[in-house]
Every structure is written in structure tokens, then in C-alpha cells.
């Protein structure tokens, strides 16, 4: 086994092995557990960096094992996969730091961090899967590894959230499996390839391929929280804040969105999907989700629930970008995969900080919190402005490319959808910012757990991650032309997807 085969496996192992070791650790061995967590996260980052350098230089990384005759567990680390891997690896490090601070002194931490590492391993597997079979294996593993995290608190409410999550994801998984096996039966394999594999079948199979597409989209659409399959996501907000970050930014909804990208580009191929009339319905569902999610967010007083509906809306930006037939829309969708992740994780970190420090869970309790927790609130403000697509933030870059993509594809209605969503975003985020900065400080906070010490408004492990991710949001917005920016990477992928067209124009 040579280096290029070993590297993808090492990326998996860098979270799997620490995870398994952590399960075995006694509860009280805090230091070793923290060391293992951080060691794994840093090793993974280093490995991912090696991959990025290699892929940019044109190396290919992959390995496969036979599971059954004719059925392979296969991995590859290509440009598209790396986009997701890098996002998850970076955010995992910060989520781990945050979780260490968040759970300080809490019970059942070995179990928590064990499953946490398994989740990231599953996410890496999803990103590096080289065929649908492997994708499915890790997609279901992700469901199983997140369930214990969602129900971590062990209360009746968290059980309800966890059960809803399972019902949606297991049903979705069964539908996805049906689609995959059907495709495997028709083609004899389900390997991802540039420009797709499905077009190899003759036109007699068009109807079957359309049905399979429907099944696959329902299957991954559950995790991507596409309306009407989104019901689990707002329910799952009962989970602790680091888990919400994991669900909304690092792993779960991203896995669904990434699945859509892989299936459209590398199973069907964008042009073949267009010729089967699959992209327009997908775009319509994405548009419906974008508007509906934003609309529902307006009426949520619970902060995390409002953010959850916001995720429902924002993740479908990615889907919309994919469904816009054209390279510019592709860039917009792919770059939003990363941008939505860093913006939303900032918001969830901040929501967790308000809850842990001051006991604030509701929007109506946030009056004056900006003065008590300025750093957290600045980070929150940057994240919220990014979600609205304000200039200088990552959100502005995504939105510009998406809108250009829509007009390039001749789908002007999609531009209106994006504007409507921006307005709705402003309508549910601006009141929060107003309360944070301009309302007076209440006499007592709902439940103050952590006292301010100098400039440190809360525990520093809770403060650092949102500040860093907020800075990343600004950096992605202002330095988008840098060679290492998510945008440049998305362009690289889009150029490889649409070989015959080149992207010159920058909006």
C-alpha cells in the first residue's frame, strides 16, 4: 500500500482511533481525553493540508477494498471532497475546543467525545466516498453516531427530539438505499466519476433513472433538510450547543447537501441531469425551502429554533446553486457549502454562549446582551450580517455568485427568491441585533452561570471559537480572490466539472 492509498485512510483514522480510545477512558481522565481530542484534530488538519497540496499539484488519492464480490468500499480524495473535508476538519477543531469548554464538569463526557469523533469520522467517509455504496455506509453511520449526541442530556424532551431525528433519517436512509441498489443493479457499479455514469445507459432507461433520482434526492434531502423533509432539524435543537454546531455546520446537513452535489455532478452528470429534466424540479424545491425556512424563522422566539429554520433556508442555497445549470451557479453553490458552515457555526457558538453564560434561550431575553458580552455579540452580528448577505462577509460572495448564476442560466425567478430570502433574513436577524445593542440591560439575567472577569465575558474556551469563525467569515468575504480561499477552490472544482467552459468573469 503506497502513500497515496494510505493518506485517505489516515484521515479517517485520525478521528476514529482517538474516538475509540476516548470511549475506553474513565470519566475522570480529563487531561488525557482533551489531549487525545486535540491531537486527533490537529493531526487531521495536517493530513488534510497534505491532501490539499497534493490535489492542487494534480496528485490523485484513492484506495478500495472488496466487501462482497463486485462491491467495493472505495475512497478518493478529490477537489470536491476536499472542499467538504477541509471545512469539517477546521470546524471540528473549533467545535472540539468549544465542547471542551461547554461541557466542563458535565457528566458522561467520554461517551460524548467518543461519539463526537465517530461523527467526524463518518463525515470524512462521506466526503471521501468514491461510490454510492461507500457513501451510504458512512451516511448511515453518521445517523447512528449523532443519535447519542442528540439525546445526550437524557431528558424526555431530548428523547423526543432524538426520536424525531431517527424517524426522519432512518426512513430517508431506506429510500436512499432503494435508489442506490436500483442504480447498482442497472449499472453494475455506482462509482463517482466526472460527468457522471448514468448516461452510459440507453434512453430506454430514462424513466427508471428519473425515479432513481427522486429516491436518491428524498434520501439525501432528509439530511439536507429540504422542505417537506426538514421537520427533524428544528426538533433536534434540544441537543447541547456543540452538537447543534455539528448538526448545522460540520456534519449532518452538510452531508445531505454534499450528497446532492455528488449525485448531480458525478452520478448523473450535470448535462445528463439537465437533459432528463431533473434540475428544474430540484431548483423549485430548493426555492420553496429557501423561502419557507426564512418565513418560519420569523416566528420563532427560541433563539436556537430561529437559527435552525435559518439553516433549513440557507442549506438550500447550495442545492439551488447546484440546480442552476451552469458553472457560475455551481461556484455559488459550492462556495456556500463552506460559507454557510462558518457563518452558522458562529451563530450557534454564540447562542450557546448566551445560554451558558446568562441563561438566555429566547430572542425576547436578549435585550442589552451586547453590553454584557460584547465579543460574543460582535461575532453574532458578523454571522447574522453574513446570513443576510451584507457586504464584506462570506455571505455576500455566495449570494453574488448565486445571483449571477441564476441570470446566466436564464432563471430570473431564482434571483427574486434570493432577494426575498435576504429580506426575510433581515427581518428575523435585525430585531435580534437591535435588542443586543440598543435595548437597555435588564436588572437580572435569566440565569447567570459564569461571571465576567475583566474583558473575558465568559470562559475563554467558549469565547475563542466564535471569535475565530467570525473572523473567518470576514476573511472569506474580503479575501475571496486569495488562492487558498473557498471561492478559488470552488472555481477549481467547477472548472473541472465543466471542462469545456472556463470561468473568467468575477462578479
Partner 1 sequence: MMVWLILLPLLWASFAFLLGPGRGTWLAMAGLFAQLWLAFALASEIVAGGAVIHAIGGWGAPLGIDLVADGLSAAMLLLTQCIALPLAVYAHAYFKRDDPAVTYFWPLVGFLLAGLNALFLSADLFNIYVTLELLGLAAVGLVAAGGGAQQIAAALRYLFATLVGSGAYLLGVALIYGAYGTVSIHTLTPLITAEAPDLVWIAGGLMMVGLMLKTALFPFHFWLPPAHGGAPAPVSALLSAVVVKASFYLILRLWIGPFSSLTDAAGLVVWLPALLGALAIFWGSYQAIRAERLKMLIAYSTVAQLGYLFLIFPLLASAGALQAGIMQAFAHGLAKAAMFMAAGTLIKATGQDLVAGLAGVAERMPVTLFAFGLAGITLMGLPPSSGFLAKWQLIELALSQQYWVIAFVVLVGGLLAAVYVFRVLRQAFLLAPANSVVTPVPRTLEWTAFVLAAASVLLGLRGVELMQLVGVT
By beta-carbon proximity to partner 1, the closer residue of 159 and 195 is 159
Q: What is the DSSP string of 288-318?
A: HHHHHHHHHHTT--BHHHHHHHHHHHHHHHH
Query: Is residue 73 within a helix (H) or strand (E), and if so which, with residue range?
Result: strand 71-77
By beta-carbon proximity to partner 1, the closer residue of 147 and 437 is 147
Binding mask 132-151 for partner 1 (x = CB under 8 A): ----xx--xx--x--xx--x
- Number of residues forming the site for partner 1 (CB under 8 A): 36
> Residue 75 in contact with residue 62, Cβ under 8 Å?
yes
Say which residues have a Cβ less than 8 Å from residue 163's Cβ, sequence separation at least 6: none
By beta-carbon proximity to partner 1, the closer residue of 109 and 361 is 109
166 binding partner 1? (CB under 8 A): yes
Binding mask 92-111 for partner 1 (x = CB under 8 A): ---------------xx--x
By beta-carbon proximity to partner 1, the closer residue of 178 and 488 is 178
Q: Of 138, 129, 141, give the one whose Cα is nearest residue 262.
A: 129
Least separation in angstroms between CB 275 and partner 1: 25
Q: What are phi and psi of 486, to 5 degrees?
A: -55, -35
Q: What is the spatial distance between Cα 109 and Cα 14, in angstroms, rounded to a whole number? A: 19
Cell numbers for 238: 434540544
Binding mask 276-315 for partner 1 (x = CB under 8 A): ----------------------------------------
Q: Which stretch binds partner 1 (CB under 8 A): 156-164, 336-344, 372-380, 421-429?
A: 156-164
In three-state form (DSSP H/G/I as H, E/B as E, the rest C), the secondary structure along 370-429 is: HHHCHHHHHHHHHHHHHHHCCCCCHHHHHHHHHHHHHHHCCCHHHHHHHHHHHHHHHHHH
73 binding partner 1? (CB under 8 A): yes
By beta-carbon proximity to partner 1, the closer residue of 176 and 303 is 176
Which of residues 8, 81, 173, 196 is near partner 1 by CB under 8 A? 173
Least separation in angstroms between CB 140 and partner 1: 5
Least separation in angstroms between CB 30 and partner 1: 17
Say which residues have a Cβ less than 8 Å from residue 57's Cβ, sequence separation at least 6: none
By beta-carbon proximity to partner 1, the closer residue of 69 and 454 is 69
Per DSSP, 338 falls in state H
> Residue 486 in contact with residue 338, Cβ under 8 Å?
yes
Q: What is the spatial distance between Cα 193 and Cα 38, in angstroms, rounded to a whole number? A: 35
By beta-carbon proximity to partner 1, the closer residue of 69 and 105 is 69
By beta-carbon proximity to partner 1, the closer residue of 73 and 418 is 73
Interface residues with partner 1 (CB under 8 A) are 23, 65-69, 71, 73, 107-108, 111, 136-137, 140-141, 144, 147-148, 151, 154-156, 159, 162-163, 166, 170-171, 173-174, 177-178, 181-182, 184-185
Amino acid at each position: 500500500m503506497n502513500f497515496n492509498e494510505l493518506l485517505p485512510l489516515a484521515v479517517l483514522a485520525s478521528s476514529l482511533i482517538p474516538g475509540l480510545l476516548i470511549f475506553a477512558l474513565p470519566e475522570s481522565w480529563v487531561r488525557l481525553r482533551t489531549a487525545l481530542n486535540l491531537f486527533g484534530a490537529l493531526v487531521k488538519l495536517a493530513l488534510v493540508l497534505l491532501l490539499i497540496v497534493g490535489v492542487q499539484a494534480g496528485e490523485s488519492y484513492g484506495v478500495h477494498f472488496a466487501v462482497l464480490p463486485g462491491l467495493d468500499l472505495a475512497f478518493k480524495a478529490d477537489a470536491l471532497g476536499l472542499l467538504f473535508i477541509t471545512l469539517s476538519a477546521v470546524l471540528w477543531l473549533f467545535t472540539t475546543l468549544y465542547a471542551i469548554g461547554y461541557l466542563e464538569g458535565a457528566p458522561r463526557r467520554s461517551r460524548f467525545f467518543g461519539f463526537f469523533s465517530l461523527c467526524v469520522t463518518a463525515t470524512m467517509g462521506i466526503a471521501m466516498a468514491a461510490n454510492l455504496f461507500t457513501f451510504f455506509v458512512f451516511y448511515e453511520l453518521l445517523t447512528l453516531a449523532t443519535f447519542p449526541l442528540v439525546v445526550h442530556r437524557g431528558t424526555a424532551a431530548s428523547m423526543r427530539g432524538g426520536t424525531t431525528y431517527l424517524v426522519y433519517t432512518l426512513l430517508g436512509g431506506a429510500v436512499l438505499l432503494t435508489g442506490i441498489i436500483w442504480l447498482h443493479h442497472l449499472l453494475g457499479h455506482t462509482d463517482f466519476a466526472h460527468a457522471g455514469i448514468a448516461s452510459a445507459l440507453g434512453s430506454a432507461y430514462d424513466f427508471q433513472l428519473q425515479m432513481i433520482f427522486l429516491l436518491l434526492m428524498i434520501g439525501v434531502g432528509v439530511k439536507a433538510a429540504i422542505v417537506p423533509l426538514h421537520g427533524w432539524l428544528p426538533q433536534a435543537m434540544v441537543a447541547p450547543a456543540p452538537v447543534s454546531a455539528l448538526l448545522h455546520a460540520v456534519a449532518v446537513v452538510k452531508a445531505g447537501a454534499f450528497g446532492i452535489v455528488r449525485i448531480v455532478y458525478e452520478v448523473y452528470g450535470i448535462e445528463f441531469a439537465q437533459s432528463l429534466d431533473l434540475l428544474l424540479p430540484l431548483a423549485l424545491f430548493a426555492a420553496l425551502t429557501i423561502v419557507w425556512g426564512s418565513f418560519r424563522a420569523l416566528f420563532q422566539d427560541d433563539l436556537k429554533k430561529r437559527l435552525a429554520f435559518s439553516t433549513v433556508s440557507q442549506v438550500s442555497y447550495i442545492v439551488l446553486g447546484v440546480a442552476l445549470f451552469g458553472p457560475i451557479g455551481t461556484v455559488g453553490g459550492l462556495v456556500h457549502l463552506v460559507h454557510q458552515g462558518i457563518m452558522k457555526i458562529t451563530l450557534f457558538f454564540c447562542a450557546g454562549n448566551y445560554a451558558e453564560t446568562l441563561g438566555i434561550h429566547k430572542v425576547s431575553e436578549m435585550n442589552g446582551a451586547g453590553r454584557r458580552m460584547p465579543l460574543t455579540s460582535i461575532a453574532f452580528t458578523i454571522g447574522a450580517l453574513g446570513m443576510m448577505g451584507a457586504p464584506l462577509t462570506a455571505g455576500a460572495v455566495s449570494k453574488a455568485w448565486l445571483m449571477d448564476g441564476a441570470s446566466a442560466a436564464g432563471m430570473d425567478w431564482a434571483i427574486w427568491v434570493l432577494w426575498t430570502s435576504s429580506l426575510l433574513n433581515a427581518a428575523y436577524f435585525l430585531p435580534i441585533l437591535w435588542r443586543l445593542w440598543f435595548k437597555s440591560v435588564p436588572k437580572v439575567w435569566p440565569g447567570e452561570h459564569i461571571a465576567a472577569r475583566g474583558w473575558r465575558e465568559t470562559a475563554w474556551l467558549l469565547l475563542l471559537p466564535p471569535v475565530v469563525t467570525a473572523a473567518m467569515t470576514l476573511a472569506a468575504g474580503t479575501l475571496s480572490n486569495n488562492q487558498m480561499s473557498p471561492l478559488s477552490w470552488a472555481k477549481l472544482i467547477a472548472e473541472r466539472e465543466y471542462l469545456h467552459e472556463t470561468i473568467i468573469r468575477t462578479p
